[in-house]
Structure 1
């Protein structure tokens, strides 16, 4: 069974920061884009960011910072934005599929019509080293909405997924993620 939950303890947030560093090293060794921001691992240590993680039998497979309807500067209307998403190296494909299913369902339960995300892209999308990754994402239901400057002032591919309630998903992925809000208050969405 998989579990998506808000990272509430210092130990969980430290584990997420270490996963981000491992992923960045893995990307660097393969000459793939790595965030230029040096503080990305530190973002996961901040409790106020409300980072979330996907776990399998206690092992952290992925982490991200879910945000409700941030001002992205692209797309229109409310959305669930998955900021700073990172997966455990060598486990990406199945993990991304699980995140896709969860995010689509979670956004629908929040009455948000879309999920948006950004993937680093240094070159035109058709020739960028992430082109195969983007193709896998489109096979999972994501739409590529072009490329431009992203949330962290880096060139990104803009991604969008339609929110959809997925009955029975809780049998595969339990969810204990705090609802992303603009205020300091949050509640858990089950």
Structure 2
């Protein structure tokens, strides 16, 4: 059974920070883009960021920071924003598809119409490796909403996913995630 839950203990947050470091190392060794922000692992250690993780039988497969209406500067309506999504390197299961299913259902349960996220895109959207990633995400139901500077100043592709209740999804993916708070008004958002 899979479960997405808030990371509540220091040990869980430390495990997420280690996963982020492993993923960044894996990307670097393959010449793939890594966020310019220096200390993303520290964000996962900080309980104030309220990170969440995707677990399978107690094993952390992915971590992210869910937020409500973070003032992205793109997109018109309220959303669930998945920030700093990192997955376990070289894991054979389709972790991204599980996150997509969960996020769409979770946003619908929060009465939000959309899920948004940003993915690094240091290359043109039609160039590899970005094109392969986008093709995979589009196949899962994500829509590309252009590219530009992301929240941390990196060049990103902007993605949206319609919120949709997943009847019976709880039999596959349990959910014990706090209700995300609206992001602080430090970026000139509403």
Q: TM-score, normalised by structure 1?
A: 0.94
Match of 2:84 in 1: 84
CA distance in structure 1 between the aligned counterparts of 2:19 and 2:34, rounded to whole angstroms: 14
CA distance in structure 2 between the aligned counterparts of 1:134 and 1:93, rounded to whole angstroms: 18
| Structure 2: gaps spanning 5 or more residues | 185-190
Distance 1:93 1:78, change over 3 A: farther
Report the 3-state secondary structure (helix = DSSP H, G, I; strand = E; otherwise coil) of the residue aligned with 2:31. coil
Report the 3-state secondary structure (helix = DSSP H, G, I; strand = E; otherwise coil) of the residue aligned with 1:32. coil
How far is 1:92 from its partner?
Answer: 7.0
CA distance in structure 1 between the aligned counterparts of 2:70 and 2:183, rounded to whole angstroms: 12
| Structure 1: gaps spanning 5 or more residues | 185-190
CA distance in structure 2 between the aligned counterparts of 1:47 and 1:64, rounded to whole angstroms: 13
Displaced runs of 4 or more, over 4 A: none
Match of 1:59 in 2: 59
Are the counterparts in 2 of residues 121 and 128 from structure 1 also a CA contact under 8 Å?
no
How far is 1:76 from its partner?
Answer: 1.0
Are the counterparts in 2 of residues 2 and 172 from structure 1 also a CA contact under 8 Å?
yes
Report the 3-state secondary structure (helix = DSSP H, G, I; strand = E; otherwise coil) of the residue aligned with 1:178. coil
Match of 2:75 in 1: 75
Match of 2:106 in 1: 106
Higher relative contact order structure (alpha carbons within 8 Å, sequence separation ≥ 6): 2
Q: CA RMSD in A?
A: 1.3
Match of 1:139 in 2: 139
